Amino acid sequence: MATATFNVSSDKTRQAFHLTGERGWINDPNGLIYYGGKYHAFYQYHPYSTQWGPMHWGHAESKDLVKWKYLPIALYPDKEYDKDGCFSGTAITVGNRLYVMYTGVKADGGGRAAHQVQCLAYSDDGIHFFKHENNPVIKSEQIPDGYSPFDFRDPKVFEYNGSYYCMIASRKIGGGGRFLVYKSDDLVNWTFRKDLFGSDIPGGDMTECPDCSVKDNLMLCCMQFVNDGRLGNRNVHTALYATGKNITQDDFTPIDYGFDFYAPQTFSDGKDLYMIAWMQMWDRNIPSVKFGWAGGMTLPRKLEVKDGKLLQKPCDLSAYCGRTDDISRESIDGAVRLSGECYVLRLTADKAARFRLEMKKSENKCVSLELDPDRKELVFSRANSGEIIIGVEKDEDSLSFVRRMPLENDNVDITVIADRFSVEIFAEGKTLSATVCPPMGADGIELSGELKNFRLVKNELKSD
Ligand code: FRU
């Protein structure tokens, strides 16, 4: 009998606590759902190489959101209507049956344009999936006039007031990104209802991956080819959110301040609302390809919507916490030095004039996080962190390998989750997520600066 494989591993060439593919390439999380007493994560998957290719849906399940067991590939691009890829989508349960809706992609007779249609698959055991005989359940002919049949993807399916709704990223021909809403009583027969906002989502070329939690008045989406500095985190593709009962196309603002955060989806286990995103970015080099994998997920984050803001916290990692270092002092005398490769690090202080936290430090490399007191910003840099990761962004911060996150409060309360190839920073409910590729064994941690009544607690994360 084959033994199960899990993401949590002591292999130094892999992430230890973040979901990645078993091999090859992955992008967007898909169909995140709590089903049969377990969390299920599907993802855009090309198992045959570390490059994007015809998309499959990879699949993993977890009891605790940290350790994921790999399951067989859930969807292969093996039908006429999805032969060029099973693109992103979402999941819903009806009774004991798990349904996923995804985009089937079919290139046009060798041409570049690929028709995108919406398809349904179901499973009664959460492992084996069957594509519905009526696929595609939303065909090109059901797209209203004036919208592109080649940009029509990433269905978000949800139930509201006893009906099913499906929200699909689309593009007005000659215009920008929209969301088209369809309604159904049975998930199979869909009728077009409306263009959600009736006008383009401003700030970029095309929208992708809509998501929502109706209960929490929360909507997420992504913007491709951002052309508006207002959307602010400087990534050429960015993930956005809006809150409220009457969201408009102008309300979207970036979710994360880091380099690597895209295509987030929310899901609930009936108690808490969570979010997972692809912790990677299009149009960048990915150093981990030399280890046979590309792309991974953020740590699942617990969400709260408060005063119109989306607040994020890391999921519970306590079961994986080992040795603790706990240092508190009135002020830093010189520098505080610790070591570790995978850890949760929490820095609190009554007041910070300035500080610099170096992580994944070797003799001449480190990932750094500084407080810029004049601009009241945390400044994250991967400039000298190891292998260069560079994209197509041409602004000054990107060319200096820097990302910034504003801070509102005078007291400091920052949590860092470090894995082998990533650093995620949480402060004031905001996040900054970045991949890194430090030299093997770079495990130094060093804090310096002027901090009043500070405490630095490091919990080592154990992978075996
Ligand atoms: C977003 C995205 C989706 C699409 C998928 C293809 O990252 O471009 O719009 O469904 O990736 O892999």
What pLDDT, on a 0 to 100 scale, did the predictor assign at position 463?
A: 86
Atom 6 in ligand 1: residue holding the nearest Cα: 87
Cα angle vertex 155, ends 88, 301, to 5°?
A: 65
**Average pLDDT of the residues of the chain:** 95
Q: Which pLDDT does position 373 carry in this prediction?
A: 87
Handedness of CA 11, 459, 327, 371 (dihedral sign): positive
Helices (H) and strands (E) in the chain, counts: 1, 31
CA of 262 to the centre of ligand 1 (A): 10
Q: Which residues pair with 190 in a beta bridge?
A: 184
Atom of ligand 1 nearest to the CA of 52: 12
pLDDT value at 391 more than 90: yes
Catalytic residue flag (residue 410): no
The answer to whether 272 and 257 have CB atoms below 8 angstroms apart is no
Q: Is the pLDDT of residue 1 over 60?
A: no
In this predicted structure, the answer to whether residue 110 has a pLDDT above a threshold of 70 is no
Is pLDDT of 158 > 80?
A: yes
Cα-Cα end-to-end distance for the chain = 23
Atom nearest to 44 CA in ligand 1: 12
Q: Is 258 helix (H, G, I), strand (E, B) or coil?
A: coil
Residue 28 Cα to ligand 1 midpoint, Å, equals 7
Of 2-16, 82-96, 189-203, which range is least confident? 2-16
- As a whole number of angstroms, the distance between CA 246 and CA 233 comes to 25
Protein residues with CB under 6 Å of any ligand 1 atom: 27-28, 44, 55, 87-88, 103, 153-154, 208-209, 262-263
Ligand 1, atom 9: nearest CA belongs to which residue?
208
pLDDT tens readout for residues 184-223:
999 999 999 999 999 999 999 999 999 999 999 999 999 9
Amino acid 112: pLDDT:
63
Cβ neighbors of 274 (< 8 A, separation 6 or more) are 32, 65, 266, 267, 268, 300, 301, 302, 303, 315
Q: pLDDT band at residue 440, thresholds of 50, 70 and 90?
A: very high
Share of the chain above pLDDT 90, in %: 90
What percent of the chain shows pLDDT beyond 70?
98
Mean pLDDT, to the nearest integer, of 225-254? 91
Distance 294 CA to ligand 1 centre (A): 15
Mean pLDDT over 367-372 rounds to 96
pLDDT at residue 359 in the model: 98
User: How do strand 24-35 and strand 293-294 relate by DSSP bridges?
Assistant: parallel
Atom of ligand 1 nearest to the CA of 208: 9
Give the CA angle between residues 438, 444, 446 to the nearest 5°.
120
Question: Measured from the CA of 209, which atom of ligand 1 is nearest?
Answer: 9
Q: What token pair was written down for 206?
A: 């095309």
Q: Which of 30, 106, 209, 282 to mutate to test the pocket of ligand 1 (most atoms within 8 A of CB)?
A: 209
Q: Please, what is the Cα angle at 350 between 383 and 367, to 5 degrees?
A: 15
Rounded Cα gap, residues 26 and 57, in angstroms? 9
Instruction: Tell me the backbone φ, ψ of residue 214, rounded to 5 degrees.
Output: -60, -40
The tens digit of pLDDT for each residue in 130-139 reads 999 999 999 9
Of the listed 11, 28, 145, 374, which one is catalytic?
Answer: 28
Closest CA to 275 of 57, 128, 426, 95: 426
pLDDT at 274: 98
Please name the residues in contact with 1: beta carbons below 8 A apart, sequence gap of 6 or more: none
pLDDT at 111: 59
Give the mean model confidence (pLDDT) for residues 276-300: 97
Query: In this predicted structure, what is the pLDDT of residue 413?
Result: 96
The 147-160 sheet, strands edge to edge: 147-160, 163-172, 177-184, 190-195
Place 340 in a pLDDT band, splitting at 50, 70 and 90.
very high
In 3D space, the residue among 215, 221, 287, 271 whose CA is nearest the CA of residue 245 turns out to be: 215
Q: Which two tokens mark 162?
A: 């006893």
Cβ contacts of 58 within 8 Å, gap of 6 or more: 21, 22, 26, 42, 43, 44, 45, 47, 70, 73, 74
Q: What is the mean pLDDT of residues 171-195?
A: 97
